[in-house]
Amino acid sequence: MTTSNPQMRPVALWLIVMAVLTAIMVTIGGATRLTDSGLSITEWDLIMGSLPPMGDAAWAEVFDKYRTIPEYELVNKGMTLDQFKEIFWWEWGHRNLGRLIGMAFFLPLLWWSVRGRVTGGLRWRLWGLFALIGMQGAIGWFMVSSGLSERVDVSQYRLALHLGTAFILFGLIIWQILALMRPPGVAASAGFRRWPLVLMAAVFVQIILGAFVAGLRAGKTYNTWPLMDGRFIPEGYFGEPARFHDLFDRIASVQFNHRIMAYVVFGLAVAFFLKARKTVAKKHAHALMGAIGLQAVLGIWTLLAAVPLWLGLVHQLGALGVLAVTVWAAYDLIPRATSRAGTAPRSAAPQPAATENPLTSPAASD
């Protein structure tokens, strides 16, 4: 790995580790959701909650608390202690990995800030990322608390907020890694600048819609493709009478929305590929087309298989990969005069006088 400033190499390596830990965190969070483990710990204790139950009496106490919530009464009535332990460890692991990420981010950042290794805008951006990590922990408890009194699961709206914040954090870390490792991108025409931004926005919307599918377990039904049990628009998309929140409260609606947005994202990737395949942005176009195409295949496979645990997690990891590629394309194709990490601007390769730059020519922005 190379950086323009050798002093930034440890910081860049540290951020790569944080990105990997965030991806693992998102994956374990997905497993916690798919195994219905998220409500197994009914309290939030930032310090003492890091310790698992010690001894039979402690396990009995934790299990007794779980047996007071609706999920146990209406879904898991009769669950044994050994069965409870299986779901407990998923949620406990998810929470403690969050604590690890917080400390792994805070301690090096504090040291480098005191030593003057990170200064100026970079320091404030990194402390902003740490604040987002802390906020994500609070959002996680906000989500869990929605399923402890009147529901047998968490609110799909709060789940979408929690997952969306995790993906925002991951994307910002990737962007900062690129800022430390790579010089600014070659100046692109106005038309090309819009493409990575539009794709990034579309991918994020699709991730949020996927969170609603996950929150309502909508992937367990309508397990046919391309139609939904023989219909393009499924029966029951709206209730009687139709209301706006039906778009996010009904299984048929959230799955249909996720399907349609997948077609939109794929169509945008194809359009960008056709536009950029003969320009200096062709590597970005190929990478985006490959990542989004693979994710589409994984999504269809996951649906047809009714979301087995391993495939659901692979699909979620695929979303992280798509976001990372989209952020990379945006970083490279959106020009900046100088890098915020202190790197020098990247110049376009020398062109013969009679040859137009295919990325910055007027034709590239059609």
Q: Give the start-to-end residue ranges of the domains of the chain.
A: 1-181, 183-348+356-366
pLDDT reported for residue 50: 87
pTM of the model: 0.89
User: Is there a contact between 343 and 183 (Cβ–Cβ < 8 Å)?
Assistant: yes
pLDDT reported for residue 361: 44
pLDDT reported for residue 189: 57
User: Is there a contact between 294 and 318 (Cβ–Cβ < 8 Å)?
Assistant: yes
Residue tagged 């991730």 (tokens): 207
pLDDT reported for residue 301: 98
Round the average pLDDT of the chain to a whole number and report it: 89
* R_g of the chain computed on alpha carbons: 23
pLDDT reported for residue 47: 78
Residues of the chain where predicted confidence (pLDDT) is lower than 70:
1-5, 48, 183-191, 335-366
Tens digit of each residue's pLDDT (9 = 90 or more) over 165-210: 999 999 999 999 999 987 665 555 556 778 888 999 999 999 999 9
pLDDT reported for residue 356: 45
pLDDT reported for residue 364: 42
Tens digit of each residue's pLDDT (9 = 90 or more) over 258-289: 999 999 999 999 999 999 888 878 899 999 99
